[in-house]
Amino acid sequence: MMTPNPLRVLILGAGSGIAQATARLYAAEGAMIGLAGRNAERLTAIAADLTARGAAATEIFDIDFTDPDAAATLAGMVAKLGGLDHVLLAYGVLGDQALADRDAAAALAIIDVNFRSAAAWMLAVANLLEVQGRGSLVVLGSVAGDRGRRSNYVYGAAKAGLAVLVQGISHRFRSVGPRVVIVKPGPTDTAMTAGMAKGGPMWATPEAVAAVVRKAADSGGPVVYAPGRWWLIMAIIRNIPAAIFNKMNF
Amino acid sequence: MRVAQPAFPDELPPLMRQGAELPHGVLAGGLRRSYGDSCINDGGALVEMTGLDRFVRFDRTTGLLEAEAGVSLSAILKLAIPAGFFLPVTPGTKFVTLGGAIANDVHGKNHHRAGSFGRWIRSVSLLRSDGSACFVADDDATGLFAATVGGLGLTGVMTRATLQLAPIASSNMAVETVPFGNLGEFFALSGESDASHDYTVAWIDCLAQGDKLGRGIFTRARHASDGELRVKPPGGPSVPIDAPGFLLNRLSIAAFNEVYFRLAGRARQATVSYDPFFYPLDAIGGWNRLYGSRGFYQYQSVVPPSVAADATAEMLRTIADAGQGSFLAVLKTFGDVASPGLLSFPRQGTTLALDFANKGGPTLWLLDRLDAIVRQAGGRLYPAKDGRLPPAMFRAGYPALDQFTTHLDPGMSSTFWRRMTP
């Protein structure tokens, strides 16, 4: 379905499960979708899927997100897409907390991907959206960023950093012009969580999270939980006194 | 059973190689709607394919669709219906993967016109456990295509397939229901309706006896010739807990059947969405829990046309005598369109599908008696619905078994396969 003015969407980390599910929603709307990631072969398969589902066009950007010059790379992508309406920053790694406990390099690798490089991309996107005076940036955070716990606190700290960045950018944009939102999913059944025991009421599908992400790009923010019940759960968890929290085993 | 969940095709070759080294090898799995053990691999590896659910290309003018094997029929319908296409053949649930539909060469209510699902498959991309990839088209002379269609996933992992969709003018169905008083009336109605309608199927009251033996309700339908092309939104009620066993006894089933027969006791016509017509049980999540924690046996047979009337009557008499009714007794005439697979279940004749609450010994005894009738008639049972088929009966029902075995991937197996080939 070619529409005369398709929505132009850039997905950073297009291979992730939540990103793919979100991209399918955009494809069904006839959007033009830029897919950025590290594996061109996989991105090609995703692009074909989106085209079959109705995307107006797709562009593949085979990039390393830790490259320092995000702003220049972003400008090149926008030129290829012919504009930019929505950006989804979806890449990240869970890492191995047990390894990070002992090995500073492993801990910093988690922080480099999830915070350092993501921050550079967020600032580059924010500057671009500010110049054009419209558009939206949705960042995938995590409920792990709401309270540190021993099983994933380095990952959680990086995601918490993103939340503060979103807060600041949102303040900078105030209530006019571009929108910036952090979506904080709970545990989601994707490749990132492969190998964990799944199922049960705490686990969401990538499709359910994608619906929240897609909506966040149009309305709401700056903090959105996915599914929404995590707002309440995390409000409680954040407020448990440390003396009690630290005795809990989860 | 070790389970892997790949998200991209490039993850498959190492998973296959590792799985093939296990004593019970590796099997690809889909949405696991097969009732028996053909979709599990106890003691081996299972590669869950549902993450490989991308479309590869869709030609909106011809309806030719290539997709990864883990895509569900539900997702295909969502794509195809707004474009004016439908599945050429569909089973009674849309929660089946493309690979699973091929592996079981599923059939639908339009078998007399369209044949089995495999007839609409143009090509399959296979990955063997030794890491070699091959592409087999429907004109393949090596026999690998014929082994793969209906081959229970044992000839390699299907990575992609190309399916020819069927054009439709509307997502609605023009449906007509006609009650019939006995089995003879069924065969008359079926013969006349197969010539005039795309879809035909009958529900049978399998507790009715005597001159009411085989009474039921016949449904015949066509795609509506005009109207909207709308995908039904998902959702619906679900069954939260296992029903207690006492809900399923002879009296409750007899009462249900009586009420159902009376409610539908006059001929009527209606236009309904495709979804409740094809997938009534999909609207009730976890419907199988209605059978309680002991579950149920499905039993689906097909018997050749020459003996169909006698064999079906004998099966229904046996069930009625045993007093073990089935809520879902479904009768359908398969047409003469040949199935492409060496182990395809559909063949010309009459198919009877039943499910029986698992009451242990008495249920198995009844199924053994039904086996004897089917075997005597020269018929066969459906592996996708089986949990107890004796190997000798499998061998008798599938004469191309030895030919199939030459195409088996040596690194692959399933619990069903080991049960059939001890």
**Residuewise pLDDT in 10s, chain A (250 residues):** 445 689 999 999 999 999 999 999 999 999 999 999 999 999 999 999 999 999 999 999 999 998 889 999 999 999 999 999 999 999 998 899 999 999 999 999 999 999 999 999 999 999 999 999 999 999 999 998 888 888 899 999 999 999 999 999 999 998 678 999 999 998 888 877 777 777 677 888 999 999 999 999 999 889 999 988 888 888 888 888 888 888 887 6
pLDDT for B249 equals 64
pLDDT for B228 equals 93
Q: For residue B6, give the chain A residue with the closest CA.
A: A191
Task: Inspect the interface and report whether the beta carbons of A41 and B54 lie closer than 8 Å.
Answer: no
Q: Which residues contact B299 (CB under 8 A, 6 or more apart)?
A: B353, B354, B355, B356, B367, B370, B381, B385, B386
Measure in Å the smallest separation between the Cα of A236 and chain B Cα atoms: 28
Task: Inspect the interface and report whether the beta carbons of A42 and B54 lie closer than 8 Å.
Answer: no
pLDDT for A1 equals 45
Task: Inspect the interface and report whether the beta carbons of B57 and A17 lie closer than 8 Å.
Answer: no
B chain contacts of residue A15, beta-carbon cutoff 8 Å: 7-8
Q: For residue B53, give the chain A residue with the closest CA.
A: A49
Question: Where is average pLDDT lowest: A105-114, B97-106, B147-156, B290-299?
Answer: B290-299
Question: Where is average pLDDT lowest: A197-206, B104-113, B269-278, B309-318?
Answer: A197-206
A chain contacts of residue B65, beta-carbon cutoff 8 Å: 52
The H or E element spanning position B260 is: helix B250-263
For residue B208, pLDDT over 80 is answered with: yes
For residue B389, pLDDT over 90 is answered with: yes
Question: Where is average pLDDT lowest: B73-87, B224-238, B323-337, B371-385?
Answer: B224-238
pLDDT for A196 equals 75
Distances in whole angstroms, Cα of residue B402 to Cα of each of B138, B342, B406: 21, 10, 7
Residue owning tokens 């439908």: B86
B chain contacts of residue A52, beta-carbon cutoff 8 Å: 55-58, 65, 67, 79
Which residues are bridge partners to B374 per DSSP? none
Q: Which residues contact B47 (CB under 8 A, 6 or more apart)?
A: B3, B4, B6, B12, B15, B16, B19, B26, B27, B28, B29, B157
B58 touches chain A (CB under 8 A): yes
Name the nearest CA neighbour of B126 among B104, B102, B95, B107: B102
A chain contacts of residue B79, beta-carbon cutoff 8 Å: 52-53
B chain contacts of residue A191, beta-carbon cutoff 8 Å: 5, 7, 51
Percent of residues, chain B, with pLDDT higher than 90: 78
pLDDT tens-place string over residues B44-67:
999 999 999 999 999 999 999 999
B135 burial (CB, 10 Å; 0-12 / 13-18 / 19+) is middle
Tell me the C-alpha distance between B412 and B18, whole Å.
11
Tell me the C-alpha distance between A180 and A63, whole Å.
23
Measure in Å the smallest separation between the Cα of B10 and chain A Cα atoms: 8
For residue B259, pLDDT over 80 is answered with: no
Higher pLDDT: B289 or B303? It is: B303
| Closest Cβ–Cβ partner in A49, A190, A191 for B54 | A49
Name the nearest CA neighbour of A107 among A116, A115, A117, A96: A96
| Closest Cβ–Cβ partner in A48, A191, A194 for B54 | A48
Across the range B3-13, mean pLDDT stands at 94
Residue type at B224 in one-letter notation: A
For residue B17, pLDDT over 90 is answered with: yes
B268-273 and B172-180 strand pairing: antiparallel
pLDDT tens-place string over residues A176-206:
789 999 999 988 888 777 777 776 778 889 9
| Closest Cβ–Cβ partner in A41, A48, A51 for B10 | A41
Do the beta carbons of residue B261 and residue B205 sit within 8 Å?
yes
B5 touches chain A (CB under 8 A): yes
Task: Inspect the interface and report whether the beta carbons of B56 and A52 lie closer than 8 Å.
Answer: yes
pLDDT for B260 equals 72
| Closest Cβ–Cβ partner in A41, A53, A191 for B79 | A53
Name the nearest CA neighbour of A1 among A33, A40, A42, A31: A31
A chain contacts of residue B7, beta-carbon cutoff 8 Å: 15, 17, 190-191
Catalytic pick from A26, A91, A153, A155? Answer: A155
For residue B87, pLDDT over 90 is answered with: yes
Average pLDDT of chain B, as a whole number:
92
Q: For residue B65, give the chain A residue with the closest CA.
A: A52
pLDDT tens-place string over residues B116-140:
999 999 999 999 999 899 999 999 9
Measure in Å the smallest separation between the Cα of A46 and chain B Cα atoms: 7
Specify whether A91 is catalytic: no
Which residues are bridge partners to B333 per DSSP? B350
